């Protein structure tokens, strides 16, 4: 049986072997090429994924952003701005208690200050103290640009207040760099010609002249004068005040400061004339006149008076 199977297998090999062809070189190359193409395709897919991933990182992870604007310096407290305003006041020669000027602490835009002023020509002086920025100052149609600095230089302008107005609005507008970071000081005083005009108006009203005598003064603050041609006797004292506010007049002799006034009068500075009879006591060798202005009259009025013997 075994011999019979062996013969059958031998016959089968003899019949099929001539028809079986080994793979050969071409078949082997074809197989290798198919494998390479597959591996290359897989590698190419990986490269495509890598490129897309890199592109996604460029487009979304690191987008272009403009440089942020420079930070503004921190705003200052009202107390710090008030200190800067005092620095500005020193730069323009403005002192505490000067009623013809003031300060602004550089806060909200359009800060307005209303001033009572007699008509006339004024010298406006202003300065802005701070690290940077500019403040615009507008008054009676005049505009000033105030550059702010640690030691600011005064800015000057001439302003005319017309006869139809008795109030002036001063408006300060800080730019973005100056807002809440600076202090402003200003003064608005009558020019010398305008002061002389008020004094001359009062002098004319009392009929002052070299023949009849008389005296006059611009009312900066308290005015004290001595007149050595007045001695004991009866006189008519004539006075006028031109400008704004009112004045108190105290009359006495050389002992006024020690003994007190002989007479006291209150006058409005409306240009009207007042006349008073006064008796100077025995022993009088000179007359003393003390004029005390109201706040509205300081730097805003001229006064004149005369003595006529009776």
Q: Which CATH number fits the domain that encloses residue 86? A: 2.60.120
Average pLDDT over residues 19-46: 48
Per mean pLDDT, which range of 43-57, 86-100, 106-120, 159-173 is the poorest? 43-57
Per-residue pLDDT at 56 exceeds 50: no
Do the bridges between strand 120-129 and strand 142-149 make them parallel or antiparallel, or are there none, so unpaired? parallel
Residue 3 lies in a domain: no
pLDDT of residue 39: 46
For residue range 28-37, list pLDDT tens digits in order: 444 445 444 4
User: Nearest Cα to 187, choosing from 132, 117, 240?
Assistant: 117
- How many residues are present in the chain? 310
Residue 283 lies in a domain: yes
- Residue that finishes a domain, picked among 170, 190, 210: 190
Q: What is the tally of structural domains in the chain?
A: 2
Q: Residues 158, 121: one domain? A: yes
C-alpha to C-alpha distance for 104 and 94, rounded to whole angstroms: 13
Which CA distances in Å does 119 have to 43, 164, 194, 215, 271? 94, 8, 9, 24, 14
Q: Residues 225, 170: one domain? A: no
- Residue that finishes a domain, picked among 190, 225, 250: 190
C-alpha Rg value of the chain to the nearest Å: 50
Q: Residues 89, 164: one domain? A: yes
Q: Which residues on adjacent β-strands are paired with residue 139?
A: 142, 170
| Model pTM score | 0.69
For residue range 70-81, list pLDDT tens digits in order: 555 678 898 999
Q: Residues 174, 205: one domain? A: no
User: Residue 181: which domain range?
Assistant: 78-190
- Residue that finishes a domain, picked among 190, 223, 241: 190
Q: Residues 110, 162: one domain? A: yes
Residue % of the chain over a pLDDT of 90:
53
Is the separation of the CB atoms in 105 and 183 below 8 Å? yes
Per-residue pLDDT at 19 exceeds 90: no
Q: Residues 154, 197: one domain? A: no
Q: Residues 202, 298: one domain? A: yes
Q: Residues 172, 91: one domain? A: yes
C-alpha to C-alpha distance for 163 and 197, rounded to whole angstroms: 14
Residue % of the chain over a pLDDT of 70:
72
pLDDT of residue 290: 95
Residue 244 lies in a domain: yes
For 18, which DSSP code?
Answer: G
Tell me the CATH number at 261. Answer: 2.60.120.380
pLDDT of residue 114: 82
Q: Residues 139, 98: one domain? A: yes
C-alpha to C-alpha distance for 75 and 28, rounded to whole angstroms: 84
The token pair at 155 is 């800015």
Q: Residues 214, 173: one domain? A: no
Q: Residues 120, 83: one domain? A: yes
């Amino acid at each position: 049986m075994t011999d019979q199977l062996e013969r059958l297998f031998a016959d089968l090999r003899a019949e099929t072997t001539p028809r079986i062809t080994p793979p050969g070189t071409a078949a082997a190359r074809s197989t290798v090429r198919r494998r390479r193409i597959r591996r290359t395709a897989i590698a190419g897919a990986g490269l495509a994924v890598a490129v897309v991933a890199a592109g996604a990182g460029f487009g979304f992870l690191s987008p272009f952003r403009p440089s942020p604007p420079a930070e503004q310096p921190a705003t200052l407290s009202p107390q710090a701005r008030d200190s800067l305003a005092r620095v500005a006041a020193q730069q323009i020669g403005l002192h505490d208690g000067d009623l013809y000027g003031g300060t602004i602490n550089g806060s909200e835009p359009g800060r307005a200050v209303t001033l009572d002023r007699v008509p006339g020509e004024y010298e406006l002086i202003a300065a802005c103290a701070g690290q940077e920025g500019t403040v615009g100052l507008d008054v009676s149609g005049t505009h000033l640009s105030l550059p702010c600095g640690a030691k600011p230089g005064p800015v000057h302008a001439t302003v005319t207040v017309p006869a139809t107005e008795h109030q002036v609005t001063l408006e300060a507008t800080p730019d973005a760099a100056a807002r809440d970071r600076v202090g402003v000081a200003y003064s608005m005083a009558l020019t010398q010609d305008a002061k002389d005009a008020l004094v001359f108006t009062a002098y004319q009203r009392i009929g002052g002249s070299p023949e009849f005598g008389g005296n006059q003064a611009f009312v900066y603050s308290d005015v004290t004068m001595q007149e050595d041609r007045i001695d004991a006797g009866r006189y008519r004292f004539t006075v006028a005040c031109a400008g704004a506010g009112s004045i108190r007049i105290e009359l006495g002799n050389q002992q006024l400061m020690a003994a007190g006034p002989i007479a006291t009068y209150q006058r409005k500075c409306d240009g009207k004339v007042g006349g008073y009879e006064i008796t100077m006591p025995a022993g009088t060798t000179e007359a003393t006149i003390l004029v005390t202005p109201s706040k509205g009259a300081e730097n805003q009025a001229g006064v004149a008076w005369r003595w006529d013997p009776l």
